[in-house]
Structure 1
Amino acid sequence: MSRILVTGAAGYIGSAFCKEGLERGFNIIGIDNFSNSSDQSINFLMESKQHNFTFSEVDLCKDLESLREIFVNNDINYVVHFAGFKSVIESQMHPKMYWDNNLESTKNLTRIMLEYGVKNILFSSSASVYGKSNNQPVSEACKLKPMSVYGATKEANEKFLEDLSTKGNLKTISLRYFNPVGNIQMMPVNSPRQDSKNLMDNIIDVCIGETKELNIFGDDYKTSDGTAERDFIHIQDLIDAHFESLKYFEQLNGYEVFNIGTGNSVSVKNIIKTFKEVNSIEFVVKISDRREGDVPICYADNSKAKNILKWEAKKDLREMCLDAWRPYKK
């Protein structure tokens, strides 16, 4: 079976990919430096799937020799690159740190890939590259106008990988994620840092008593109910898209990019209402001022992924809300 190197293997999406890959019979080599996550998920994977999972603590920006050793000792077929700093808020406070880390890690990774003739890389990108687009739903052809340093580093990595791929050095697929939520069954909860939390993380926090109330930032947008609208996607559907993408490498020459979202626009008030209903739980909601940089609406045109990858999301909003709360139910 194919061998996959997974960077950022300890994170929310990376660890979920590792678990799914192991269950599908792939040999997984995970690396992470634990800058954004703990070793909880790695320990779980090591204990449950020792025969085809290995892990090394590696910093892609600093440990070039450790990375090279992994390529020397393993016949790697694919690289799935999740690693990178991911907080929009932090990126605005420490832009140089984000530019240095997120680009240098990709440059070092691809340098070693080219040294050892590994050509296939699946890159974890983000819908943040679109910024405030007037075209909704957004397609892959929309102009990229990131509004944060984080989003700008994703765009820069895409362009770097596209350049290497169009010259024939690599084959790259970039997946632009929209808003992943929920949990993979049987996986330990992978709680993000405070400055990386999304709406669902904040809902969970108020439900478990970490915070007293949930803030809705703005209810005066020109949307269906005045609150911002986003494309929420279940983490399982997101992970499935990665495995459909791996199949596509067989016919890919050069570079390709896909939106990975449901194609449905869901308001903040709607997801709160659904979460309360399906989980029979109540919590205090407070309307606050809009946050700088928030866009009124952003959701995916996912027709390209449907047509080419033969992938589409299967889980609905109710399932997302149920699975997000399931690990916390007593």
Structure 2
Amino acid sequence: MKHVLLTGATGFLGSHLLEALLAQGYRVTILKRSTSDTWRIKHLLDQVSVFDVDLVAIDHAFKSKKVDFVIHTACSYGRHGQTDYEVIESNLLFGLKVVDAAISSNTHTFFNTDTLLPKYLNAYSLSKKHFSEWLKRKSEYIKVVNFRLEHMYGPGDDQKKFVPWLVSQLEKGGDRIPLTDGRQLRDFIYIDDVVSAYLTALKKSEQLLSYSEFDVGTGELSSVRSFVATLYDIYKSKRPDIKTQLGFGDIPMREGELMSVEVDNTALKRLGWEAKVSQEQGLERLIGAVL
């Protein structure tokens, strides 16, 4: 039974990963803060070992049991008023502490969660790119797998992110939701397909290079407008009395808005992974979990 140390387990991606790892029979240790809100994983806490990193040194988690793999998902998006330093502390410095502890403990593989956003878009993307650059250096001492994620969605996400915000606006039942014209192109990927990418690479870790990088997306771009319209139609099919209108074009694009993304999931498919949840299926599951 392999042992996985998971960071960010109380977050959206981390909580789904934790559930899947336990279902697959892995032993799991999680790192969190003593102040972390565990609502997503409270039903799983009695199945894992827990270390509060603000109370004990990180290397304690590695010394207590042999850790085979680290899956690092903890991050700060900077959405809650964090300073640049606080974002860097979460996304770079904390990650370096974890990977150094893993190296000292002869951990086999470090799986990192990166982004496909451009490096200089914001403090989040810049700090994530800096960490992935450090990991290339660290791969001399530990095998590294770097996942570059596109726009994932699903139940249990942060309410400040676009898709949950949109659903919450429909729930409120206002007259109109202000939106851009929605020409931006994104690769929307359902959370279960993201989790399966990690599990696939985890099982194939022996055959991977010292540093591997995988784009995690469906490989198909769709406009924000079409995605929102599909979500709206599914929501309306379940709540036909809804009167809320979609205000496409009501607000201008943000300055520096990313109009498209480049996703190449070829390497991930070579491992045997494929996206199995269509956009309609994913949105049906999301709306079904909300209503």
TM-score between both structures, scaled by the size of structure 1: 0.80
Counterpart of 2:198, as a letter, is H
Change (3 A) 1:212 1:70: farther
How many residues align? The count is 284
Contact kept? 1:206, 1:212, Cα under 8 Å: no
For 2:175 and 2:265, the matched residues in 1 are separated by 37
Counterpart of 1:233, as a letter, is I
Q: Which residue of 2 aligns with 1:53?
A: 48
Q: Which residue of 1 aligns with 2:113?
A: 124
For 1:271 and 1:262, the matched residues in 2 are separated by 14
For 1:210 and 1:73, the matched residues in 2 are separated by 51
Give the CA deviation at 1:211.
6.6
Change (3 A) 1:66 1:243: same
SS at match of 1:298: coil
Computed over aligned residues only, the root mean square deviation of the Cα atoms, in angstroms, reads 2.1
Change (3 A) 1:211 1:40: farther
Q: Which residue of 1 aligns with 2:279?
A: 317
Q: Give the unaligned 5+ runs of structure 2.
A: none
Q: Which residue of 1 aligns with 2:245?
A: 284
Q: Which residue of 1 aligns with 2:198?
A: 242
Q: Which residue of 2 aligns with 1:9?
A: 9
Contact kept? 2:193, 2:277, Cα under 8 Å: yes
Q: Which residue of 2 aligns with 1:39?
A: 38
For 1:74 and 1:278, the matched residues in 2 are separated by 47
For 1:249 and 1:237, the matched residues in 2 are separated by 18
Measured against aligned partners, the alpha-carbon deviations of 1:37-56 in whole angstroms (never above 9, x if no partner) come to 6211231212xxx3x42223
Of 161, 179, 187, which aligns to 1:231? 187
Change (3 A) 1:109 1:210: farther
Comparing 261-270 with 145-154, greater Cα deviation is found at 145-154
SS at match of 2:215: strand
Q: Which residue of 2 aligns with 1:156?
A: 130
Aligned-pair identity in percent equals 23
Q: Give the unaligned 5+ runs of structure 1.
A: 132-144, 184-189, 220-225
Change (3 A) 1:313 1:303: same
Counterpart of 1:304, as a letter, is A
1:208 aligns with 2:171: yes
Change (3 A) 1:318 1:193: closer
Give the CA deviation at 1:312.
1.4
Give the CA deviation at 1:58.
2.1
TM-score between both structures, scaled by the size of structure 2: 0.90
Give the CA deviation at 1:247.
2.0
Q: Which residue of 2 aligns with 1:187?
A: none
Give the CA deviation at 1:164.
1.1
Give the CA deviation at 1:323.
1.4
Aligned positions of 1:139-178 closer than 5 A: 145-165=119-139, 167=140, 169-178=141-150
Q: Runs of 4 or more off by more than 6 Å in structure 1?
A: none
Q: Which residue of 2 aligns with 1:261?
A: 217
